[in-house]
Every structure is written in C-alpha cells, then in structure tokens.
Structure 1
Amino acid sequence: MRFSLSIAVLAVFAGSAMADPLPSWQEGETKSRIIDFVSDVTDPGSDNYVTPSDRIAVFDNDGTLWAEKPVYFQLLYALDRLEEMAAKDPTILSSDVLKAAAAGDMDRVAKSGEEGLLEIVMVSHSGLSVPEFQADVARWIETAKHPTKNIAYTDMTYQPMLELLRYLRDEDFETYLVSGGGIHFMRAFVEAAYGVPPENVIGSAGKTRYEVVDGVPTILKDPGIAFIDDKAGKPIGIDSKIGKRPIFIGGNSDGDFEMLEWATAGNGPSLGLIVHHTDGEREWAYDRDSHVGKLVRGLDEADERGWLLVDMAEDWKRVWSGTGN
C-alpha cells in the first residue's frame, strides 16, 4: 500500500514537471529557446545559473502584452475623457488639436504628431488626484470597448504573453512593466491584467504636486511631462527603479531598442525577445511603416544581436486572452 502511494505521489510530481508552461505557443525553435533559457538560468548545476534575486524580467506593454491598434489604448482613454471634460467646460478646447480630438477627427489628431498627442494627454490627464485618476481609468477599462474589435480592452491582452509572465514568476523571476505608457494609467489595471503589482511599473510620468486638500494630504496630477519612458528613457528608468540589468527583456518596437541593447550587453546570460506583428487575420500585420509600434532597426538587427523574433502568426496558437482565437 505504501509503495502504491509513493508511486502515485511520484506520478503527480512527474505530471507537474512535464506540464507545458506555454500551451498557447506553437512547438518549435521560438518556444524551445524560451524554455531552454529559463531552464538554464534556473539550474543550480548550470554555468549560467542566476540566483533568484537577479532573475529580473522586463516587458513593454503596448504591442507586447496587449494590442496597440488603431492607436495606443491610453490615447483612446484620453479622447473619451477629453470629450467628457469638454461637455462640462468647452473652454478647455483651446487649440485646434484639442478641438479635433473632442470631435473625433482622428486624421487631424494623427497629423498633429507627437506634440499634439502629448497636448491631448496633458489636458485630459490633469486636474485629478492620483486616486481619482486611477479610479476613472479602472471605470473606463471595465466599460469601454475597442472601436473596431468591439471587445473589452482587457480581453485584448495576449494569451501567450500572459503564460510567459506566469512561467517566469513560477521560476522565481520578478516581472516588471517598462512602457512608454503613463505610469498612473497602467497602475490602474496591471495587477488584474498581468499579475504584475503596481509598484513594478516603470512608465512615463506627468507632472504632479503635493497639496493638502480639505485637510487631506493629496498628490495631484498637473499638466506637463516629467519623464518619457521610451527609447533611451527605458534603460534609464530601469536603472533608477530596479538598479539591476534585466536578464529577460520583451518588446515589440524600436521604442524598445535601447532597452534590449543595454540589457543584453551585460555580462552573463540574457534573452531579448521581440513580438513581431505578422498576423493580419487574428490581429494586425505591421512593422516598418506603422505609425504606432514601428519596427525597423529591431527587425534588421535582431539576428546579429541574438534577439528572439517572435512571429505572431507562426509561433502563437492563439492571440487574445479573452476571445479564444
């Protein structure tokens, strides 16, 4: 009886060990490289063993963990909030780009470039305390639908990447978000969406100030940009927040190039991963000519730098976390 029980226990442990940590990834070189890397750095007998305290994994958000078309989802939130604000006080529409945004004229908004987009974000994201702003983002996330897919934004997270985050944490990696998106915007939903705690978010930051409001100490969001966590800002943000080079780095665009370059240039093992949007049927196919998520240099240099280029159409069995495809 004791022998039979031992066999049963061993069978359970063997089944757990053999369970596929990445079931939504197709079998092949891409999946094998990820698993081989994680197995190597977590094996105490390996020359590439990395102690748990140094197992740092960082991921971009837009286009890496969830979709980013037709524009970044934070901009869609900004447009909805600007419309609500203008309904209460039309005088806030003090420029042509703000008027175009409130009217839903995306062509004029797009032509305004980065400067126009920043103006929209600065106006729509200010005038609230941080808790008020994050509560408003959480409300929007729960109720808003994507303009063309007509599904919830949180259903447009990538199931294969959720599995990757979970797999890394199961192997004692600490996972962080390092995104050009706003830090307060992301902190409103990242724990529920990705299992990443709010304190593990590194993002762009608007100006804030401290004030006692009606006897309550408060952090208020003001117009203006304090830090842009994109391109060269990403390694600076990682260094300031974490103080260590990550060993697993995930991105999808040239906005992530410097983060990948810096993190994989250190001594010791590392794996850089780029999500390449090749699936025009289930998602969108884009890279070099896209107005968001442009991928040129990363595409050209991935092989020579040893970065793993994930072909969404070929490497993923399913795309979305919430729709089953």
Structure 2
Amino acid sequence: MPLAAQAEDLATWNDGPTRKAIIDFVKDVTTQGDPKFVPVEDRIAVFDNDGTLWTEHPIYFQFAFMLDRVKALAPEHPEWKENEPFKSILAGDMKGVEASGEKGIMEIGMETHAGMSTDAFQKIVSDWFATARHPKFKRPYNDLTFVPMRELLDFLRANGFKTYIVSGGGIEFMRPQTDQMYGIPPEQVIGSSIVTKYVLKDDIPYLMREPKVNFIDDGPGKPVGINNHIGRRPIFVAGNSDGDYEMLRWVTARGGPSLGIIVHHTDSAREYAYDRDTKVGRLDKAMTEAPERGWVLVDMKNDWKKVYDFEK
C-alpha cells in the first residue's frame, strides 16, 4: 500500500505541523534510497501507556483498581478498619490515603497484587475492567483509549514498525488488555513487576506473585527495561509526562533518525487539561526541553478531531 494512502489512516489527526512531522518521519525511514532509511528490523516504536494511550486522570487506572480491591478484600481484613492507609480508603478519605505517602501506596499494592498465582491475578484484572466505571465518564475504563493514538499505532505497523508499550504501570495489569485495546500482544508490553516464584501445589505448577518489588519501569528504569526486553534502541518514542523524560532522551540520542512525541493534555472539555501543576502525569521538564531536543508536542485540543470512540 502506498504511504500516501496509509497516511489517510490518521483520520482523527488535524492537518498541521504535528501530523506532518509524524508522516514525514515515517516516509523518510521507510523509503529505500533515502539517507534516513531504516531497515524493518530496526523500526521499533515505544509508547508509554498512562496518559499516552489511555486517560490517567483523576487517578491512574491501576490505582483505581487497587482501591476497589481493598474494598472487595476488606471483609477478610477487619484490622484494616483501624490501620492506615486502608482505614482512609474504606472511609473514602483520599487525603488520608495521600498522607500515607510512597510507603502506604506500596503497602496497598502488595496487599492487592500479591499472594496469588499469575493466572488468578489475570482473571481479577480482566473482571475489574469488565465491570469498573470511570468516575467522570461513567464508562468502562477500556473505553478510554485515545483514538488518534490507536490510529498512530496502526499507521506505524502498516509501515513495518514493531510497537511496544513501556509503562510504569504493572506489566501483568496491562497485559490482559493491550492486545484488544491496541493490537499490542502481551510479549510486547514492558512494565513494573513484582517478584514471581515457581511453586508446586498438589504436584501442579504455578507462578506465585510475592509481595516484593522486582523492577520499577519508570523514569530512568524505562531505557533499562527497553534494553532488557527488546535489545534494540527504538527510533520512535511517545510519552506524556516527566516519567518518560529519560526514555525520550535515550531514544532520540541514538545517533540516527528518530522522533519523540509528547501528548500534551490541553482539552478540559473532552478529557482533562494539565501539565506542570499536577501530581498525576506531571509534564514540566520534558515540555521545557522539547523545543531544543526536537520533541513534538501533541496538542490534544488542537491536533485531534476526537479523543474517544464514543464521542458524537
């Protein structure tokens, strides 16, 4: 299929410098004889997930999952009525939860994500996505993927790219959803993980999730995760926050053709508007350095004709 025809697939991107930068880059690296041509095997594209491929406000989807799991498990833990941060969760006191800090969040994560097999956890996650609803949109969380970014994934794959997710979110929280959401299979998802151990119960093998952190795939961990899982330096990177800064730096410093884009949340009507002054998905340093580093800021309000499938 000619590249010009494939470019029409970016139907929900408004014509302008952002769309042009993406199309021109892909044309350059896929045109035989062009000095910027990149062989198919090196056409690797990496995407952050939270805030880049799906909505991340008012709280990360995985944190919403954690809160719901605490409420579901509370009958088995009467002590939580007196112990923080669980006491605040059960009372609906988010300020109290925040006051518990990183230690409290980690404790919530271990209680809700460990002590079960990988198969059991996958079912819990899948069931949650099938029933939970976003507080603003009153829709399933898996309805809240960005149409233009899904089109971009398709466009890149149509031009020989292999697409990966590289997220600070839990790798096994994302994997049950990414294939149907984005066409990205589980083996092309990189994320944070907890320790997993092989065990036998009644002579049946299981992989059991233990309450210990294995790897944090955020900030400087993202380039490390890419190297460990992929073994090639990508030529295309998409993020939305300072948690993607190191990944943006590493990919676009490869010494050959590369493109970095940053999804800038500017649309308070269709989604949310935020950047420097937010705790969830803070975009400050990366936005400041974007012009000098050649990173393309995607203005959600002006660059996208629509955000979600369900828009009229």
TM range, smaller chain: over 0.9
Structure 2 residue 85 is the aligned partner of structure 1 residue 134: no
Structure 2 residue 288 is the aligned partner of structure 1 residue 288: no
Match of 1:177 among 165, 177, 181: 165
TM (normalized to structure 2)? Answer: 0.96
1:221-244: CA deviations, max 9, x gaps? Answer: 111211110000000000111111
* Native 8 Å contact 1:41 1:49 kept in 2: yes
Match of 1:313 among 285, 289, 301: 301
CA distance in 2 between counterparts of 1:216 and 1:246 reads 40
Which amino acid in the other structure matches residue 44 of structure 1? Answer: Q
CA distance in 1 between counterparts of 2:102 and 2:176 reads 24
Match of 1:243 among 231, 236, 241: 231
Please state how far the C-alpha of 1:210 moved relative to its aligned partner: 1.2
CA distance in 2 between counterparts of 1:300 and 1:37 reads 23
* Native 8 Å contact 1:101 1:120 kept in 2: no
Q: Which of structure 1's runs of 4+ aligned residues deviate more than 3 A?
A: 13-16, 91-95
- Of 281-290 and 115-124, more deviation after overlay is shown by 115-124
Which amino acid in the other structure matches residue 75 of structure 1? Answer: F
CA distance in 1 between counterparts of 2:66 and 2:103 reads 15
Secondary structure of the 1:189 match is helix
Identity value in percent: 52
* Native 8 Å contact 1:66 1:156 kept in 2: yes
Report matched runs for 1:171-320 at 5 Å. 171-320=159-308
Q: Return 5+ residue gaps in structure 1 as ranges.
A: 1-12
Structure 2 residue 20 is the aligned partner of structure 1 residue 32: yes
- Select the structure of larger CA radius of gyration: 1
Please state how far the C-alpha of 1:315 moved relative to its aligned partner: 0.4
Please state how far the C-alpha of 1:17 moved relative to its aligned partner: 2.5
- Paired residue for 1:324? 311
Secondary structure of the 2:116 match is coil
Please state how far the C-alpha of 1:142 moved relative to its aligned partner: 1.1
Distance 1:52 1:19, change over 3 A: closer
Secondary structure of the 2:120 match is helix
- Paired residue for 1:57? 45
* Native 8 Å contact 2:190 2:217 kept in 1: yes
Secondary structure of the 1:211 match is strand
Q: Return 5+ residue gaps in structure 2 as ranges.
A: none
